[in-house]
Amino acid sequence: MTYALIAFAAMLALTFLRMPIALAMGVVGIAGTALMKGWPPAMAMATQVTYETGFQYAFSVVPLFILMGNFVTRAGMAEELYAVCYAFLGHLRGGLAMATITACGGFGAICGSSLATAATMSRVAMPPMRKFGYSKELSAGSIAAGGTLGILIPPSTVLVLYGIISETSIGKLFAAGILPGVIGIVFYSVAVQWTIWRKPEAGPRGERVSWKGRMQLLRGVGAFLVLATLLVWLANIGMFAADDAAVMGALGTIALAFIYRGVVGVLALFALVMGGIYGGLFTPTEAAGIGAAGAFAFALARGKLDWRGTFEVLLESARTTSMLFVILIGAMMFANFINYTSMPGDLRDFVGRFEISPIVVIASMCVIYVLLGCVLESISMILLTVPVFYPLVQHMGYDLVWFGIVVVVVTEISLITPPIGMNVFVLKTLLPDVSTGTIFRGVMPFIVADIFRLALLVAFPAISLLLPRFMG
């Protein structure tokens, strides 16, 4: 274990010296393997990891979900989501902030990226909040915190990577992320109300939208619910198989999205991806490809794409994918060296020898994640720690699906925790007139809400496991 701890220290030191995290993990992994086994095995390991990571079929789900999220952003679905949330919540005190958080949750259900969610919603939600005189702290804080929901509510790139590394069902992870995501929206809304209670002028009321206007924004949702209910009923009475019902539901929902536009497009994509997975129609990788194709069709039908726009989406997706895969390769090299040092086994022996309570071990892991989140970004943190922690969690008898949700929730906290909160710095780039300190002050109530949510999920694992067990 000593060599592993030295490796972690060396990797963090290189990171503090401004070496890119992917390169730091790769260098330490190769150098450590060379010291233990010699340079030829170390170089062979590096070659093998690079080749296998690039050609592994399971990892193809990552660029496809990234492509889907970029097409969704281009299609303008964020504006439609925010308009619906504003219509129902905007007239309340702090309602625009709560509408922003709810829209972030809905956008995360078709995007899968926290940074993309925060960046998109900053352009959509910040102008109305400025118009009605919201404080900069509450405005920026609600966007930064709401953006973190993008990596929890499925489909989620982080959950996909966790599932691949820990060999856990991605479908079950997606199902497990839904309820904690909804709880996150509720807790964040409570944080908004607490902020308004302390400082009423921070979140004045917006304009009230009539019920007629609200119903116009929900055009097609009623038809979607009728279609879904009818198909479920016909499948239950044996008119046709569940697979056939899922196919007809997907096609019908896409047709409704083209007819009615509006928020039903979000429901269409979510139903297409998640319904296809749980209906047994296709694997998560195939679902990602179909979702990307559906998002492309929506963007095209809305007139949001031309040749230049399509090229920009593809280029941005390629850049993001390249960045993730470089980090992934470096993390795999580092994880291979850690496995050579037998650190996972040593941790199991340590816990067994001193009879440490499993819940204390889980709490310690959560603290480690929060501390690492102060210096590392989320993907690097997941890839760095999961190979070390998940064997120990499995040995203690915990469900790896539940642990995956706990890891993502802690990662959400790290995205808005000083001094390195990635969502905060994304907003700082997009909102140059808002200082970094202002944004960090604005996210503090939401960090407290996240801590309460994390404690709830740790104390009651059934919350995360309810939907995976129900969906079977």
pLDDT, tens only, 297-353: 888 877 888 889 899 999 999 998 898 899 889 988 998 898 888 777 777 777 777
Give percent above pLDDT 70 in the chain.
Answer: 91
3-class secondary structure per residue, 81-111:
HHHHHHHHHCCCCCHHHHHHHHHHHHHHHHH
CA dihedral (136, 439, 154, 101) in degrees, to 10, reads -20
- In angstroms, rounded to a whole number, what is the distance separating the alpha carbons of residues 447 and 323? 28
Q: Would you state the pLDDT for residue 371?
A: 79
- In angstroms, rounded to a whole number, what is the distance separating the alpha carbons of residues 72 and 87? 22
Number of other CB atoms surrounding residue 232 within 10 Å: 13
Q: Would you state the pLDDT for residue 176?
A: 94
Once rounded to an integer, what is the mean pLDDT over residues 428-439? Answer: 88
- In angstroms, rounded to a whole number, what is the distance separating the alpha carbons of residues 165 and 109? 22
Residue holding tokens 């919540």? Answer: 89
* Angle, in degrees to the nearest 10, between helices 242-260 and 284-301: 20
pLDDT surpassing 70 at residue 159: yes
Q: Would you state the pLDDT for residue 351?
A: 78
CB-CB contact of 339 with 391 (8 Å): no
pLDDT surpassing 90 at residue 204: yes
pLDDT surpassing 70 at residue 131: yes
Q: End-to-end CA distance of the chain, in Å? A: 39
Q: Which long-range contacts (CB under 8 A, 24 or more apart) does 254-262 make?
A: 254/294, 254/297, 256/220, 256/223, 256/224, 256/227, 257/220, 257/298, 258/301, 259/220, 260/219, 260/220, 260/223, 261/80, 261/219, 261/220, 261/302, 262/80, 262/84, 262/217, 262/218, 262/219, 262/220
pLDDT surpassing 70 at residue 58: yes
Q: What is the mean pLDDT of the chain?
A: 86
Q: Would you state the pLDDT for residue 66?
A: 87
DSSP 419: S
Q: Would you state the pLDDT for residue 261?
A: 66
- Helix and strand element counts for the chain (H, E): 24, 0
Mean pLDDT is lowest, of 41-50, 341-350, 377-386, for: 341-350
Highest mean pLDDT among 127-136, 284-293, 376-385: 127-136
Q: Which amino acid is at 223?
A: A
- Listing DSSP states for 404-416 in one string gives HHHHHHHHHHHHT
Looking from the CA of 454 toward its CB, the CA atoms found within 13 Å total 24
pLDDT surpassing 90 at residue 135: yes
pLDDT surpassing 90 at residue 109: no
pTM for the model: 0.88
Q: Would you state the pLDDT for residue 191?
A: 96
pLDDT surpassing 80 at residue 81: yes
Query: Which residues, 6+ apart, have CB-to-CB distance to 270 below 8 Å?
Result: 109, 110
pLDDT, tens only, 163-189: 988 989 998 999 999 999 999 999 999
pLDDT surpassing 70 at residue 162: yes
Degrees (nearest 5) of the Cα angle 73, 289, 390? 95
pLDDT surpassing 80 at residue 98: yes
Q: Which amino acid is at 337?
A: F
- In angstroms, rounded to a whole number, what is the distance separating the alpha carbons of residues 1 and 342? 7
pLDDT surpassing 80 at residue 378: no
Q: Would you state the pLDDT for residue 80?
A: 84
pLDDT, tens only, 236-282: 676 766 666 666 766 676 677 666 666 777 877 887 788 778 777 77
Once rounded to an integer, what is the mean pLDDT over residues 212-222? Answer: 79
- In angstroms, rounded to a whole number, what is the distance separating the alpha carbons of residues 268 and 39? 53
